Structure 1
Amino acid sequence: MKLYVYVLEGKDWAVEESYVKLKVGKFKSRTRVLKNTRNPVWNEEFVFRVDCLDDDELVVSVYDGDGDDESSGLFKVNSCRSLVGRVRIPLSSVAAEEDHHLQPTWFSVQSDESNESICDFCRRDH
């Protein structure tokens, strides 16, 4: 089964340079770094292989892109990447929907330390 995830945009981010990492099971991906905006618009689509919608989750992590050297590629080990916050979305929420399809939905990304809302992003599965 395939899970389609759309990272559309964020609003009122705490940082001006950011990117989003996505993880489902052992599969990972990420958006490009957007600079000079607290309201980034990615409009990027990702596809993940999923064995069972009931047993897994989509982990969305927001990172400060400041100091990230894009010319070194996605796997640069020593770049400065500060975690801003994350949200965990159970895939069972997709399974519960008719036709396994969610309309675009805003989620608040929570800081791991303070549990306060840092920013929002929109994601859609089908």
Structure 2
Amino acid sequence: MNVVLWIIAGLLAAVFLGAGLMKVAQPKEKLAANGLAWTEDFPPGAIKLIGALEVLAAIGLILPAVLDIATVFVPLAALGVVALMVGAAITHARRKETPMIFGNLLLIVLAAIVVWGRFGPHSFGS
């Protein structure tokens, strides 16, 4: 199960690092033109904040475990991913973008597995 948790955390980290860097690096208008229509509902600063939180989550999912320092941040980062994706799902629901919610739910489930595993039976301390 430890390997499965590493794989899930690695996949989540890759997804959120890419998505976060994109939001941090590109202007709101370019993001909206590239298929992120939800950005129309948010000010540029909020989009940059969301992107920064996604980058931090990606780092938190991997780096503490690799360095074996403060490994409690791994499940906390996964919990942050759950929170971000709940917010994303709510945003997509308000915009009636139902197909997008399925992706959010998948990411919530994957992050919840990491939260459960790393806070529970497969924590780094055991």
Larger strand fraction of residues: 1
Larger helix fraction of residues: 2
- Which interval holds the TM-score relative to the shorter structure? under 0.3
The TM-score, its normalising length taken from structure 1, stands at: 0.22
Question: Is the radius of gyration larger for structure 1 or structure 2?
Answer: 2
